[in-house]
Chains A and B, each alone.
Chain A
Amino acid sequence: MKNYVVARTEDVPVGGSIRVEVNGRAYGIFNVDGTFHALLDRCPHQGAALTRGACIATIESDTPGEYRFGTSRTLIMCPWHGWEFDIETGQSWFDAARTRALSVDVNVEHGEDLAAWLHESQQTGARLPGPYIAEVHEVHREDDYIVLVLPR
């Protein structure tokens, strides 16, 4: 696995998303109440960029006229056909078992740690705990960063 530093945490607003590209593929980074998640930025239906859709809260009900409104924007709604996906798992609302957006692991690291690790790996070739690849985003010691964990 490889770790890509893709954004500062403050770049992603609560209840919003940004789109980043790594090795030619686009990912959506989402901020749900301060917790960050990432999805391949591609709806499994017809390929729309999910980050062009709205982050929305759940609406559920057991009987007509009664509503349970979620308080966090935990879903992304595809901009093309309105399909809802759970930002954390990628599961679609209507077919959680079989229709899902691709979820990608994401970590948050402090810039000072990242800088140290980056320096160490450059000096020694050590692989702990990275390797962190900062090509996508410049690292400053004072910020927190979003790190995508990708197979290659």
Chain B
Amino acid sequence: MSVSAPGLTEIRAPGGWAGPVIDVDVHVHVPSIQTLFPYMQQGWRDFIVERAVGTPPSFATVYPQNAGNVVRPEWRPENGGLAASSLELVREQALDAWAVERAILNCYWGIDSVRHPDLAATIARAVNDWLIDEWLDRDDRLRASLVVPAHTFADAVAEIERVGSHPGFVQVMMPVRAMQTYGRRNWWPVYDAIVAHDLVMGMTWGGTSEGPPTPSGWPSYYAEEWAGEQGVFMSQLTSMVAEGVFQRYPTFRLAVLDIGFNWVPSLMWRLNKEWKGLRRTIPWVNEAPSQIFRDHIRFTTAPLDAAPPSESARFLRWLGEEMVMFASDYPHAYPGDYRRFLDALPESARPKIMADNARAFYRL
């Protein structure tokens, strides 16, 4: 039985989009920590058993699996297992359903919430090897983000050095909430490795910082935290632009995932405006921030915000047709009528959004 979400399969319905589709954000989940045992030394398996280590805690707090927005009901496995946890499920529900040319897998499993630095590095290595074995090596359509133990910069670098040259890895997943804002120079060794391996930095939902998940305190409710995370993305982009990441790394590519794009034009305008008068404080920013966005950063369609499709099309016009890539964000349950969204776009934009922008940006 093929089931998939309204709004996504409609793209492929008669009269819909018949051209190529590249889906830049397909989430996959590690079924359980035992799944990773073949990719660890016996000593770490014992450690995990002795201490009853399970799924890293922030996987459950970032993506509470029974919340309605986290998994679309028809994508929950009938056997009660974890959604998006096997290639067979993902093929049937996503890859085949909207007939992808390529899909980029993003495995957010909350490794950032493992504070044991050596266990975190061990889990990151295991997840990457599992992605290679169980996914990349089994379906030519797939590419993936490699994961890193982001709390220890040197270990993140080592993991990029270890697997960053695998042809299936096109991106390094960096959760939006981090130990430090991503403009800080402490990240430079990680960026050196990302750039040296010609990878994209994929800034994704989730992560754990040293502080609360908003820049100014703790949200009280899940809905509040969920909706408010957009502000963290804004802070990170502002940090990376202001602190000169894109001047230091002229080939740096940043994909901003899981957070749509309607909010971006106003941020670009704001940064441009303030840069005109305050650029002396950040003199390495020697071009308008909006130009930096266009040269280095891409966004995705998911989630399509609740604006009518015609309004989203207007935001896209402000942002630029080259700036947005199609993402299903499978298996999350974002409402969004992609068919109407595409219909609202100028014809020139449709092939760019659905495949060309991603193909060029990720060099697929």
Contact = CB atoms under 8 A, between A and B. Distances in A.
Q: Is this pair of chains taken from one and the same complex? A: yes
Interface in A93-117: 93-95
Interface in B262-296: 275-280, 283-284, 286, 288
Interface in A76-96: 78, 81-84, 92-95
Interface string A37-70: 0000000000000000000100111111111100
A74 to B, nearest CB: 13
Given A63-B248, A64-B244, A64-B247, A84 B185 contact: no
B243 interface: yes
Dominant secondary structure of chain A at its interface with chain B: loop
Given A81-B277, A82-B278, A63 B288 contact: no
Interface residues of A, number: 20
Interface residues of B, number: 16
A118 B97 CA distance: 89
A64 B243 contact: yes
Contacts of A64: 185, 243-245, 247-248, 284
B286 A60 contact: yes
B277 A67 contact: no
Contacts of B286: 60-62
Contacts of A92: 276
A79 to B, nearest CB: 11
A59 B244 contact: no
Contacts of A81: 276-277
A32 B243 CA distance: 31
Nearest to A65: B185
Contact of A59 (B243, B245, B280): B280
A60 B244 CA distance: 13
Contacts of A59: 280, 283
Contacts of B283: 59-61, 67-68
Interface string B62-104: 0000000000000000000000000000000000000000000
Nearest to A82: B277
7 contacts: A62-B284, A62-B286, A63-B248, A64-B185, A67-B283, A68-B283, A84-B279
Interface of B: 185, 243-245, 247-248, 275-280, 283-284, 286, 288
